[in-house]
Amino acid sequence: MNRLDMALVTATLRQFRLRPCAGLLSYGRCACLSLVALLLALPAVAQLSAPLPATIVTDLGERYTTLRHTSEAYPLQATSRTQSASTLRQQEEMAPSGLRLLELPAIEYRQLPESLLWGEWITTASGECAWRGSLQLEEAGWNTLYFDLYQLGHGDMLVIANEEGEVRGAFTEANNVSSHSLTTAPLYGERLIVYYYPASGERKALPWRLSTITSALLTAVGEELPPAVGGHRGSGAPWFVVKGLECAEATVRHPEVERIARSELLLVVRGRFFSSGTLINNSRLDGDPLVLTAAHCLNASYQCRDLDYVRQSAEQTVFYFNYFSPTGEPLVNGIEEQTLAGAELVAYNEEHDMCLLRITGVQPATPQGQCPIPQSYRPYLAGWNAERDFPAPVIGIHYPQASVRRYNRSDDKPALESYNIASVPVRWVNSHLHINRWNVGTTAGGSSGSGLFDRAHRLVGALSGGNSYCSTPYNDYYYALSEVFTGYPDDKCLQPHLAPTSEQTTLEGLDPFADNPPIRLSHQLYSLMRDSVAIRTLDATVGGIAVRYDIDTSVQYLGSVLVMGAMQEWTPVTLAIYDDKGGEPGDKLYEQTLPKPSYLLVNDAGQTPQERTLSDAFQAFFPAKEDTPLTLSAGAYYIAIEGSEGKSLSAPLLMSKAQLHTTPYAWHLVGSSWEPAQAGGAPYLGHYWIDPIILGKLKPGGTSALESADEPRVMLVGERLYLLLPGSWLAGDASAEVALYSAAGQRILSLPLTGTRSSLSLADYALQSGVYIVHLRGAGERYSCKLIRP
C-alpha cells in the first residue's frame, strides 16, 4: 500500500442539523457527529456567552455525570402541544400555494413553578455559593428557555446544561437588554439543570425568572424530518435530513454572492418556527443590526396577529450567523456557535407581510455609530433597492428545511402581482414579486423571510410563499420593498428606518469590519476546486503533518478548524505551530493537546445512540489557549497536527487532490525530522485541511490562499464550469458576462458575472461529448477558449 493512500469523499454524504457539530448522512444509516469537548473545555454555545471559569467547569463536570440518573429533578407538566409538522406539510403540498415557514411540533411549558420549588442554594465542590435547579420534561426535545425579569449584576453568571453535559452560557450582564428578557439557543434533552453563580458569593433574590420552555420535537414530522429510531433521539440527533433539495446549491458554489450571503441569517422563533432573514444597511451606515424578514414568521402564519404576541416572538428569536457548508458536495454543517438572541419590532405591515426587526442581544456598550454585532461573526449588511425598476437576474439566498445556506436564481425580472393564500386572512394586492420560474434552485419550508437580490446584489424583496420544488421550480412570491417603502405610518413602512437621513431609494451594502476582519486562512475554502478533496489514511511512518501558511503582516492566532474523515476512535493529538527556517518547519512556537470529541450514532438497526463514534467526515474548531496568546509577525508558519508521545498520527484529515504549488506546502514528520510530503512515492503538492483563524489586516484567505489571475482562467470539471477573471474586468461599474456555444455556433447559455470567481452548474444543459466555445466579456475586454467535453 502507498505511504499515503487517498479515498474520495463520497457524494452520498449529506449535512443535516442545528447543533455545534458537523453532521452528515450516509444512505442506509443516520449518523450525527456532535462535538462535545472534555471537561477541561466544556462547550459554551450560545449568544454572547462568556468563557466558563475553571471552578464552574469542575462543578458541571461532577454534576452532569449523575444528572441523567438522578430523581431530584422537578417534573414539569406541559400546558400545550402544537400540531404535527407532518400534517402541516401535507396540507401545504395539497394547496396550490402556501407560506414557506418550517414549523416543528412542540410542547410548551408556560406555567412554571416558583424557583424555590425546583431549586436551592448549594455550596459547590469548589466551595462557591450557587443556586441550582433541575427540571424533568415530559419528553426529550430541542429546548428553548425564556427568562424574564433578567437583570444580572456585574460578575454574575447563569448557565444551563443538559444530561449530556452540553452547555448554554455562561450568560452575564452582557445579555441584559431593555426588555429584561433572555432567550437561549436550543439545547437538546428531557432533563435540564440551571446554575446561577452570584458574583458576591452570597445568597440573594434571583435576578431572573424562568417563564417558559418550548420543546421542539423531532418525531412524526414528514419525509425531511424522519422519526427517531426506536422513538428516541440522543443529544447528537439531527434537526433534519434534506431530500429533494439538490437543485438548490450551497452558496459556497457561488463565490460571487459571498458578501450578500453573509447577510442572510437563519431564524428560530419561539423555539419551533424556522425561517430566514436579511441583515440590512441604513443610510447612517452605523451597523445598526436591522433584520428584514416576513410578518408571518412572527405571527405563527397569521394565527396569532395580536401585536403583543408578535413583539414577544421578536424577543424570543435566535439568529444564526454563518450557517453555511465549506464545500458544495458533500455538504458539511455550518458554524453554529455564532448566534445572537432577542429583538425588538421596528416596523410591521401585514398588508405586505413585511417585518423589520432590530437585534437587541448584541455586544453591550458599543460606541454609537459602530456595529454592535461581534466582529468574529463577519456580518455584512445588505444594500437595497426600493424602486420598481431593477436589473435582472434576481438571486434568492435562504435556508430551506433549516439546512445550510442555498442559492436560487431566476434570469427573468419578476412582475409585480397580487398574491392570495386561502389560509391567510389578508389579501396582498399588487404587492408581491412573482418568480414565474427558477432557472436554478427552489424554496421550501424555512425559506420564508429570505432575501431576493437584484443583479447589483441589492435587496428588492423577501419571501412570503409559493409552491416551488426541484421538479416544478415555479411560482414563488416575494413582497416588494418598493410597495412598502413609503405610504404608511413610520411603524408600518421601511423608509424611516432604512433611509432616515435622506430621501434615497437605493443604498449599497456595508461591511462594518472590513478594516480589521477575523479571517479563516485556508488553501481549500477559497479555491474554485474546494470540492476536490480526499481523505488521508493511516501511515505508521508519519508522526505528524504540517501545512504552510504565508502571511504578510502581524496577526493574532485565535484557533484552528480541522476537517477530518471517518475514524474508528480518537487518539490523542497535539496541535503545534512552527516558524520557518530555510523553507521548512523550524522552532516550535506553540502547542496544545486537542480534547477528545464525543459523538452519537443512530442507525437503522434499532440500536440506541452510541457515544464516541466517529463514522463520517466532520469539521471541528479548536480555539487557542486563553492563557497563551500568540502573535505571529509577517512570514511563513506551519500549522501541525502530531501524534502524542512519539506515536504515529492516526487522524484522517481531508486533503486537496489538486496540486497547486511547485514548492511543498504539506510536510510529514518522519522520525524527528520534517520532510516534504510524499504520496505514492511522489511529492504531494496539495494541502491538508487545517485552517487557522487569525485576526489582522490581510487579504481574504491570506497571501497563500485566494486565487487571482492576470488573464481569465476557465476550467470544466465534471458538470461544473469554473471561471476566474482579472479584477480589472469588474472594476468600478464594469460588468462581465459569460456565454457558452456549441461547436456549431448554437448558444447554450448567457449569464452575467458579478464577481471575479464564479462556479456554474451545467447539469441542466445535458451537454454531449464534443467541443464547446466559451466567450467572456468585461470592461471592454474579451476572451474566448475551447472546452472539450469527454
Rounded Cα distance between 381 and 281, Å, is 5
CB 651 within 8 A of CB 567: yes
Rounded Cα distance between 490 and 469, Å, is 37
Q: What pLDDT is attached to residue 224?
A: 30
Please give the grid coordinates belonging to residue 445.
419550508
CB 33 within 8 A of CB 258: no
Q: What pLDDT is attached to residue 385?
A: 98
Q: Are residues 685 and 728 in the same domain?
A: no
pLDDT less than 50: residues of the chain: 1-46, 64-69, 85-94, 219-241, 597-616, 700-702, 704-706
User: CB neighbours (10 Å) of residue 701?
Assistant: 20
CB 717 within 8 A of CB 760: no
* Domain annotation covers residue 672: yes
* Domain annotation covers residue 705: no
User: CB neighbours (10 Å) of residue 60?
Assistant: 22
Please give the grid coordinates belonging to residue 373.
454585532
DSSP state of 313: H
* Domain annotation covers residue 180: yes
Q: What pLDDT is attached to residue 568?
A: 64
* Domain annotation covers residue 607: yes
Please give the grid coordinates belonging to residue 664.
511543498
Q: Are residues 314 and 340 in the same domain?
A: yes
State the residue for C-alpha cell 445572537. Answer: 340
Please give the grid coordinates belonging to residue 787.
472546452
Q: Are residues 266 and 327 in the same domain?
A: yes
* Domain annotation covers residue 15: no
DSSP secondary structure string for all residues of 295-306: GGGTTTTTT---
Q: Are residues 284 and 430 in the same domain?
A: yes
Q: What pLDDT is attached to residue 71?
A: 54
* Domain annotation covers residue 43: yes
Q: Are residues 137 and 258 in the same domain?
A: no
CB 380 within 8 A of CB 373: no
CB 621 within 8 A of CB 564: no
| 733: phi then psi, degrees, rounded to nearest 5 | -95, 10
Kindly provide the b/e burial profile for residues 419-441, where b requires at least 16 CB atoms within 10 angstroms of the residue's own CB: bebeebebebeebbbbbeebebb
Q: What pLDDT is attached to residue 729?
A: 86
Rounded Cα distance between 256 and 705, Å, is 17
Helix (H) / strand (E) element for 432: namely strand 428-437
Q: What pLDDT is attached to residue 753?
A: 83
Structure confidence by residue, pLDDT tens digits, 336-352: 667 899 999 999 999 99
The count of domains in the chain is 4
Structure confidence by residue, pLDDT tens digits, 529-542: 777 777 787 788 89
Q: Are residues 728 and 666 in the same domain?
A: no
Provide the CATH number for the domain around residue 273: 2.40.10.120
Q: What pLDDT is attached to residue 242?
A: 58
CB 739 within 8 A of CB 558: no
Strands 383-385 and 458-466: parallel
Q: Are residues 293 and 179 in the same domain?
A: no
Q: What pLDDT is attached to residue 312?
A: 94
Rounded Cα distance between 666 and 662, Å, is 11
List the one residue out of 91, 451, 50 whose CA is nearest residue 278. 451
Query: What is the 3-class SS of 352-364, one letter each residue?
Result: CCEEEEEECCCCC
Please give the grid coordinates belonging to residue 554.
502581524
Q: Which of 175, 200, 231 corresponds to the end of one domain?
A: 231
Please give the grid coordinates belonging to residue 296.
408571518
Q: Are residues 394 and 328 in the same domain?
A: yes
DSSP state of 257: G
Q: Which of 645, 668, 695 corresponds to the end of one domain?
A: 695
* Domain annotation covers residue 95: no
| 424: phi then psi, degrees, rounded to nearest 5 | -105, 125
Q: Are residues 193 and 330 in the same domain?
A: no
Provide the CATH number for the domain around residue 674: 2.60.120
Q: Are residues 574 and 501 in the same domain?
A: no
Q: Which of 231, 266, 286 corresponds to the end of one domain?
A: 231
Helix, strand, coil percentages, rounded to 5, for the chain: 10, 40, 50
* Domain annotation covers residue 96: no
Q: Are residues 543 and 608 in the same domain?
A: yes
Please give the residue range of the domain that contains residue 44: 37-76+112-231
List the one residue out of 618, 671, 675, 654 whose CA is nearest residue 7. 654
DSSP secondary structure string for all residues of 466-513: E---SSS-EEEEEEEHHHHSSSS-GGG-SHHHHSTT---SEE--B-TT
- Residue 355's alpha-carbon distances to 379, 458, 628, in angstroms, are 20, 18, 45
List the one residue out of 787, 779, 738, 732 whose CA is nearest residue 758. 738
Q: Are residues 177 and 43 in the same domain?
A: yes
